[in-house]
Amino acid sequence: AQKITQTQPGMFVQEKEAVTLDCTYDTSDQSYGLFWYKQPSSGEMIFLIYQGSYDEQNATEGRYSLNFQKARKSANLVISASQLGDSAMYFCAIPRDTGRRALTFGSGTRLQVQP
Amino acid sequence: DTGVSQNPRHKITKRGQNVTFRCDPISEHNRLYWYRQTLGQGPEFLTYFQNEAQLEKSRLLSDRFSAERPKGSFSTLEIQRTEQGDSAMYLCASPLSGAFNEQFFGPGTRLTVL
């Protein structure tokens, strides 16, 4: 079964600084992908970034980048130049290995950006 | 706005009552997922539809829960005889076709059972 571990329940970062949110995973699939979602206090899940296990280059989307280390089974999210609006819960997720591709989520990291 | 809508956004009910939630996914997406999210946790998978067929249900989906997608478009999730432990955010998601496409989530329905 898939498992996602996010070991940081909460993180603080100063505005304009970079922050890394940790995610480790366990899967029996040979081919898989890692997703990161943001959930503001309003509750909606916002897709941020994705990387497939066979992608050779780390994914980037604007200020978001994935530090994907397949051998260590980690897929950390890096947010550069933090903004106050980045304050939210962040979830790492991996598709389940049942073939239906529902996502298994970690318990999340609450990021607070301080001015 | 992801294009996935859910109604109602909030529902407060008394224990023992039945509730029904609706999800309208993006029209061309034939896959649809329901998740439940309790406070302080990530979403947990409940059930999966491909078109109108319910192809998978998790162990979280007790006999009091039923989901339908009658014409392969919108979906409903009904909880009968609600319990306080059912209080949670219920999220609907639909992805594009393909193995690893992002799931577009709706805004969720927050259920409070008194």
Binary contact (B103, A103; C-beta < 8 A): yes
Chain B neighbours among A 73-112 (CB < 8 Å)?
91, 93, 95-96, 98, 100-108
Nearest to B88 by CA among B13, B1, B5, B3: B13
Query: A33-42: per-residue pLDDT in tens?
Result: 899 999 999 8
Q: Which residues of A touch B91 (CB under 8 A)?
A: 45
Residue reference for tokens 């999340």: A108
Chain B nearest-CA residue for A105: B42
Q: Please, is B7 exposed, middle or buried when counting C-beta atoms within 10 Å of its C-beta (0-12, 13-18, 19+)?
A: middle
Strands (E), B9-79: 10-13, 19-24, 31-37, 44-50, 53-57, 65-68, 75-79
Under the banding of pLDDT at 50, 70 and 90, the label for residue A17 is very high
User: Which pair of tokens denotes residue A104?
Assistant: 């298994």
Size of interface A-B (CB pairs under 8 A): 67
Q: What is the mean pLDDT of chain A?
A: 93
Report whether pLDDT(A55) > 90.
Answer: no
Query: B59 in helix, strand or coil?
Result: coil
Q: How many percent of chain A have pLDDT more than 90?
A: 77
Q: How many percent of chain A have pLDDT more than 70?
A: 97
Query: B104 in helix, strand or coil?
Result: strand
What is the predicted pLDDT for the residue at B71? Answer: 85
CA dist A103 and A35 (Å) reads 9
Quick one: average pLDDT of A88-92?
98
Chain A neighbours among B 82-111 (CB < 8 Å)?
89, 91, 93, 95, 99-100, 102-108, 110
Distance from CA of A16 to the nearest CA of B (A): 27
Q: Which residues of A touch B43 (CB under 8 A)?
A: 45, 91, 103, 105
What is the predicted pLDDT for the residue at B66? Answer: 96
Chain B nearest-CA residue for A4: B42
What is the predicted pLDDT for the residue at B12? Answer: 98
Q: For residue A45, give the nearest of B95, B100, B105 by CB distance.
A: B105
What is the predicted pLDDT for the residue at B29? Answer: 79
B94 vs A101: which has the higher pLDDT: B94
Quick one: average pLDDT of A42-48?
91
Q: Please, is A73 exposed, middle or buried when counting C-beta atoms within 10 Å of its C-beta (0-12, 13-18, 19+)?
A: middle
Report whether pLDDT(B99) > 60.
Answer: no
CA dist B56 and A43 (Å) reads 25
What is the predicted pLDDT for the residue at A54? Answer: 87
Query: B19-76: per-residue pLDDT in tens?
Result: 999 999 987 778 899 999 999 899 999 999 999 999 989 988 899 999 999 988 899 9
